[in-house]
Amino acid sequence: MRVRVFFHDKCFDGAASAAVFSRFYKARVNSEACFEYTGLAHRASQLFDEDKFDGEENAIVDFKYTASPKLTWWFDHHQSAFLSQADQQHFVADRGGKKFFDPSFKSCTKFIATVAKEKFGFTAPDLDDLIVWADIVDGAQYADAATAVRMEAPATKLTLVIEAAKEDGLMARLIPMMGSMPLAKIVEEPGIQALFRPLFERHMKSIEVIRQRASCSDGVISFDLSDLDMEGYSKFIPYDLFPEGVYNVSVSTASYRTKISVGSNPWNTRPKMHNLATICESYGGGGHPRVGAISFEAGAIEKARAAAKEIVALLKTDPE
């Protein structure tokens, strides 16, 4: 049985979700299954290529829903999981028992583990550390911003590699490792260390770049990195530099998109009254109530800057 697993690319929770799903599938569905992994990215254009749904079974974890008849399994926890009302209605009408959605979970990894245990009787105690860290990373549940930025824990090191490394075939190697090895052992692997060390040096330089470019006004941190190759920067740097900031809005670029990142500071105790997923949805993006993003076409920098300016102004006001 060949299973194609689509996952949220360049995301610790996405990779961990794929690892936990694969372990569950092999234990409870088909022990002879072999897996192929495909990362999915949020784009302004088409998200899904039907030709890539080429497995005997096809699964999507930690990413948006598609009504494709080729989709067999689906797990997601994002508020904006559905591209259209028709997609949501298609999901609600599904009676196959293999598609699951719950935006109350901080990580899709823990959601999959919970469903797998409650509905299929699957447990894997050796995955507990991975599940806990996926919840910490995706839910921004670090003790403080400095803990996230210093990257001393194995999971934080691996997060940097997943988010910033550009090596072809990395995730196809890494996801099976995440499903079978302790995180501390994974980061000790020579190949992972070879990726981590230069990325960490780049990370330290990015702190200084953001320090120079960012400003905080009325509780909103904002900065523009659209002229630099810095899409993989740590989203926690702004909160470490500006602990008084409640929200953060930034513009960055990649080869396939121009991106606005919108987040809230989990360590600032001021009330977070704005739903960031809803704000991002109004520009064609999405996410969670406390963190979201918007993807524009590659090169649409001025359009992204204009939208970011509007969002900054909105976040400085009290929601109606």
Q: What is the pLDDT of residues 223-264, one digit of tens each?
A: 999 999 887 789 999 999 999 999 999 999 988 899 999 999
Q: What's the CATH number where 297 sits?
A: 3.10.310.30
| Domain co-membership, 21 together with 88 | yes
Q: Please give the torsion angle defined by the CA atoms of residues 169, 82, 264 and 266, in that order, rounded to the nearest 10 degrees.
A: -80
Rounded Cα distance between 290 and 247, Å, is 9
Question: Tens of pLDDT along 147-178?
Answer: 999 999 999 999 999 999 989 899 999 999 99
CB 126 within 8 A of CB 113: no
Predicted confidence at residue 254, as pLDDT, reads 86
pLDDT of residue 144 exceeding 90:
yes
pLDDT: which is higher, 232 or 278: 278
Q: Hey, what amino acid is at 237?
A: I
Q: Which of 20-24, 45-49, 209-213, 228-232 has the lowest mean pLDDT?
A: 45-49
- Helix locations, 33-150, DSSP H: 85-93, 108-120, 128-138, 145-150
- Say if strands 247-254 and 220-224 run parallel, antiparallel, or are unpaired: parallel
Assess whether 49 and 98 both reside in one domain: yes
pLDDT given at position 231: 75
CA distance 301 to 303: 5
| Per-residue model confidence (pLDDT) at position 303 | 97
Question: What is the predicted pLDDT for the residue at 46?
Answer: 62
Q: Helix 12-28 vs helix 108-120: angle between axes, to the nearest 10 degrees?
A: 20
What is the Cβ-side half-sphere exposure of residue 97, based on CA atoms within 13 angstroms? Answer: 5
- Residue whose C-alpha is closest to residue 106's, from 176, 42, 12, 219: 12
Specify whether 23 is located in the same domain as 109. Answer: yes
pLDDT score recorded for residue 90: 97
Q: Are residues 31 and 160 in the same domain?
A: yes
End position of a domain, from candidates 171, 188, 205: 188
Structural domain includes residue 143: yes
What's the pLDDT score for residue 188? 97
Confidence of residue 119 (pLDDT cuts 50, 70, 90): very high
Q: Which of 136, 153, 188 is the last residue of a domain?
A: 188
In a domain, 237, yes or no: yes
Q: How many domains does the chain have?
A: 2
Taking the model in full, what pTM does it have? Answer: 0.87
> How many angstroms separate the CA atoms of 76 and 64, rounded?
7
135: which residues sit within 8 A by CB, 6+ positions away?
106, 107, 109, 110, 141
Q: Which helix (H) or strand (E) holds 185?
A: helix 183-188
Please check whether residues 150 and 221 belong to one and the same domain.
no
Confidence label for 44 from pLDDT (cuts 50, 70 and 90): low
Q: How does residue 98 score in pLDDT terms, banded at 50, 70 and 90?
A: very high
Among the residue ranges 37-46, 114-123, 190-199, the one predicted with the least confidence is: 37-46
pLDDT for the residue 51 = 86
- Mean pLDDT (whole number) for 45-71: 91
pLDDT band at 320 (very low <50, low <70, confident <90, very high): low
Query: Structural domain of residue 292, as residue ranges?
Result: 214-315
Residue 45 has pLDDT above 80, yes or no: no
DSSP state of 127: G
Q: For the chain, give the mean pLDDT.
A: 95
Which residues, 6+ apart, have CB-to-CB distance to 12 below 8 Å? Answer: 133, 134, 137, 138, 155, 158, 159, 162, 163
Residue 201 lies in a domain: no
CATH code of the domain containing 115: 3.90.1640
